[in-house]
Each structure stands twice: as C-alpha cells, then as structure tokens.
Structure 1
Amino acid sequence: MTGAAPLLFERYGHVALITLNRPEALNAFTGDMGELWSERYRECDRDDSIRAVVVTGNGRAFCAGADMSGGADTFDTHDSANFSSSPVLPAWKVRKPVIAAMNGHAIGLGFSLALQCDFRFAATDSKYGLIQSRRGVLADGCSHWLLPRLIGVEAAMEMLVLGRTLTSDELAEKGLAREILPAAQVLPAALSFADEIASQSSPLIAAMSKRLLWDGLGMSLDAMDAKESQWLQHTMGKADAIEGGRAFAERRAPRWQSQVNSDWPEG
C-alpha cells in the first residue's frame, strides 16, 4: 500500500475508534481497507483493555460502497475459492459491542457493513441503502440473513429488491438507526455511548450478552434457555458480580475486574 493508510485506528480509554480513511473517494471500499478492518476487529476482540468499538468515516461519507473506479470491471467474474460476500470479519463475531457512527452516506457494501454492527448512529442529510439490485449484483454482507431479522421479511424484500436509497428519517422509521443527528454530532454521540458501555457495564457481561443475542437468532427457545442458564451460572459469584452490588450500595462507579478472554465460559 502507498500513500495514506485506508484505515486509521485510535484509542480513547477503553474505546477503540476505527476510521475509514479514503475521504477523497467517499471512503469507497477496497481490498486493502477490508484486510485492515478485519485485522483491527480481531485486535479489538483479543485486547481485553478494549471494551467497545466505534467505526466511522473520514470526511463527508461513512462508506459509499465498493470502489467502482474500475467501471465495468468492478463486478466482473470472481473465481476465487475463498470469495465471501462479507469481505470484512462480521462485526457480530467481535465480542465487544461495535457501534457504527455513520457520519455521512452509507451505500451498498458500506451500508451492509454498518448493518452488521450492534448499534448505528446516522447523520441527517445523508443517503443510506442497499442499491446493488440497480447495479446488477446481489446485496452482500449477509444482508439477506440479517435484514429480515432486523425489520421483517417484507421490509427487507423492499430494500433488497428495489434498491432505493433511504433518507435518515426513513432509516429511523425502519428502526435501523439508534439516533439521527447532524453529521458533526454523530461521532461524539457514538463515542459517548461507547464510553458509557465501557465504564458502566461489566466487560464480560456485555460480551456474553452480545454473543447470546447474535447466536440466539438461530437457536430454539429451549436451546437458548439451556445456554443462558449455563452462562448465568458462570457469572454468579465472580468478582464483577460482587463488585456490581458493592458499587451500587456505595453509590460509586464500578471498578470492573473481568477479562473477556481469560474469563470466557467454556461451551
């Protein structure tokens, strides 16, 4: 890679910030960007000092989708046996909560990758959507699995088949954004939300809750009951369970001791 890095990585206390860094191209997605993005997600999962992750874009867009500077060759035949519709490690595989701070337009793959996050903050006066049907290819990022679970089959069908762009208000109406804000306020709001998670919630419990919620999308009620019961038992009597009650009684902020990697339950 030459020139500026296509992706930046910073730390704010226990919060990691990943910034897509191709502002001149509206942060259009490239293979180099995807490799770095996946590496940073894996680092966030491994590093127990990181408790929440925020992803945003540099400039006036979050991500304008796949880099189409190749014109007709952009979606040419892809014969690789390792090809995946999700070119970034899905955010749901990161055990720390991941928040998309969509500071501007999020289109196509850019929107698919934001949908994989646990929370989304969106900018007013921006466009969002899965427009791939209007480019002659399928939507990506496991959106055919994810969207029906987020907004229902009919609404998902409309988005995937028609390929329309949505305004921020339409995004909020569908329940696909936690908060709609002026562009300049999106990242600060997302970082503040991430910091609340990092400081107020037990790191282990936040990670376990995230994993149960995502895994639960494909589990039966009985299977979830068994898993939740097993994992709840794992947390009882641990240092964070004692600290949570003590901090509440003493009316102070909790001092969490859990480590996601070393304290993760078996099975």
Structure 2
Amino acid sequence: MATSVRTSTEDGVAVLTLDGGDDLNLFSGATAVELGDALAEVAADDDVRVVVLTGAGRAFCAGADLAAGSGTFDAHDAFSASPVTPAPMEVPKLVVAAINGHAIGIGLTLALQCDLRFVAEGAKLAVPQVRRGMLGDAGSHYTLRHLAGTAVAAEVMLTGRSFTATEAVGWGIASRALPAEEVLPVAIEVARDVALNVSPASLALSKRILWSDLSQAETEARETAAHRLLMAHPDAAEGPAAWRERRAPRWTYRVSDLPD
C-alpha cells in the first residue's frame, strides 16, 4: 500500500497524516508529490494557521520505500534530494511534527524541516543513509547542523546510528519526548493555542527570518522591515487591546496580505 496523505482541518489547525497501512508509512515519490500538494494547499489557505504533520499507526515514517518501481531513488535528471515542495520550512505557518513513532531516514529529515518536534518516547530515530550507500536528504546537512550544532550533526549523519527520543531532546533536535499516545494530542493542543492567540502575519514574518541564513546585521535589517510592516497595520493595536481585555485577539492581517 502506497503511503498517502490525509488532511483534516478544525479550529484553524490542519492535520496532515502520512498513512501507509502496515508498511509503517514508507515514503515514495508519489508520497512526496501528495505531501507537497497538501502543504501548498494549507499554505495558501488563510483559514489554516497551524499545520501538524504526523503518521498513522505506530510509525511516523520508517523511511524511503526502496521497493522496485517506487520512484523514490530513480537516478534521473529531475531527481531532487528534497522531493517535497514546498518544504515544511517554506510554509508560512507554524508546522509541528508529531512524531508518534519511528522516524527513519527521510521520515526524520522531513521532520527536521518542521518548526517544532514532539517525539514518542519509544521512537527509533536515525538518518542511516550512509549505511545504505547514500547520504542524508531533505536538507538535513543544514537543518540538523543549525538545530544541534556540527558535533551532533556529525554523529547522526556520519555514523548513521539510531538514537532515542531522550537523546533527541538533549541535543535540541526535539522539543519534548512524550508517551506515544500523547504526542498528537499535545501537538494539537499547542497548535490550537497558536492558532487562537498568535498573529498569523507576525508568525509568518518571524518564521521567514528564523529559517534565513543571515548575518546579524542582515537579521536586524529584516526585523526592522518586519516591524515597520506590522506597526502600520491595525493588528498592532489589536494585540495589546486583547491582552488588556483578557480576550482572544481578532487578527485581520492575513498571511496572503504580506509582500513576498
């Protein structure tokens, strides 16, 4: 059974679920296209404020589907080591990876492109491609080094060994390690809080800066430009007013209103 992507949306939160039945949500070329389409759809929908990415059953994603004909690693001119477009880091919403079980290879490197990661305590995590004659994909040489530093990235990427959720938290790769049954509910709880209380425009602008590889001076310039955009909009007064009145803010600055 090829892994498909199920989408459900409620209270401003879109949950994208990798569903591959008994195959532990193995990732194929078709999965990459379907996930990219789903991410593009929620990215363009102003009613969606937060995205949660998870897996069905007992795995998040156990890696690439290496069966013949899967299209995962066909060596052709169109091949990309980052097959999901847009990548989670490019979606102008908070993207939370609810890693409910094993995340191996692209299952983990895809999660590294998300903004937050909640991991099941018993999950097996690894980027084992160097043990398969390949190497880490989905920009993991960038994401892992920026999340955890070169020393941790080297241990994960160059040894290909498995590691635990506890190690992932200690290294700064994951935000929390939780019992498997709590991973998705906690992720959704965080997502709903952000969807209700956080300015979509502020989050989108902040995320752009966080994922940009800028110098300190360039970062400060980008922050200044973002502040000027936000200060010119009524939401700059709505946020403090909602805080003073102890109510949920009524944001009107949409992500689609932001300049490119």
How does the TM-score come out when normalised to structure 1? Answer: 0.92
Q: Is the 8 A contact 1:151 1:174 kept in 2?
A: yes
Shift of 1:77: 5.8
Q: Which amino acid aligns with 1:18?
A: L
Check conservation: 1:231, 1:265, Cα contact below 8 A.
Answer: no
1:254 to 238, 249, 256: 249
Gaps spanning 5+ residues in structure 1: where? none
Shift of 1:75: 7.6
**In structure 2, do the counterparts of structure 1 residues 101 and 69 end up closer, same or farther at CA, with 3 Å as the change threshold?**
same
Structure 2 match to 1:20: 18
Q: For each residue in 1:168-212, what CA deviation from the matched residue of structure 2 results, as whole angstroms up to 9, or x when unmatched?
A: 111111111111111111000000111111111011101111111
Structure 2: runs of 5 or more not aligned? none
Deviation at 1:265, TM superposition (A): 3.2
Check if 1:108 corresponds to 2:105.
yes
Matches of 1:5 and 1:12 in 2, distance apart?
23
Residue 4 of structure 1 and its aligned partner are, at CA, apart by: 7.9
Query: Within the alignment, does 1:152 sit opposite 2:146 as a pair?
Result: no
Q: Distance in 2 between matches of 1:151 and 1:4?
A: 33
**2:58 matched residue in structure 1:** 60
Q: Please give the root-mean-square deviation of Cα atoms over the aligned residues, in Å.
A: 1.8
TM-score normalised over the length of structure 2: 0.95
Q: 2:82 aligns with which of 82, 86, 102?
A: 86
Matches within 5 A, 1:130-209: 130-209=127-206
Post-superposition offset of 1:74 = 8.1
In structure 2, what is the Cα distance between the partners aligned to 1:157 and 1:209? 28
For residues 15 and 125 of structure 1, do their structure 2 counterparts lie closer, same or farther at Cα, with a shift above 3 Å needed? same
Distance 1:11 1:74 in 2: 30
Contact 1:234/1:265 (<8 A) preserved: no
Following TM superposition, by how much is the alpha carbon of 1:155 offset from its aligned partner in structure 2, in angstroms? 1.2
Shift of 1:237: 3.5
- Between 1:222-231 and 1:9-18, the stretch displaced more is 222-231
Equivalenced residues, count: 259
SS at match of 2:211: helix
Paired letter, 1:155: V
Partners of 2:3 and 2:27 within 8 A in 1: no
Where does structure 1 differ by over 4 angstroms across 4 or more consecutive aligned residues?
Answer: 73-77
Report the Cα offset of residue 23 of structure 1.
2.7
Query: Is 1:122 the counterpart of 2:97 in the alignment?
Result: no
Of 117-126 and 248-257, more deviation after overlay is shown by 248-257
Identity of matched residues, %: 42
* Amino acid aligned to 1:254: P
Secondary structure at the aligned position of 2:119 is classed as: strand
Corresponding position of 1:10: 8
Distance 2:2 2:61 in 1: 17
Equivalent pair of 1:26/1:60 in contact (CA under 8 Å) = yes
| Aligned residue in 2 for 1:265 | 259
Code of the aligned partner of 1:201: V
Residues 121 and 181 of structure 1 are in contact (CA less than 8 Å); yes or no, is this contact kept in structure 2?
yes
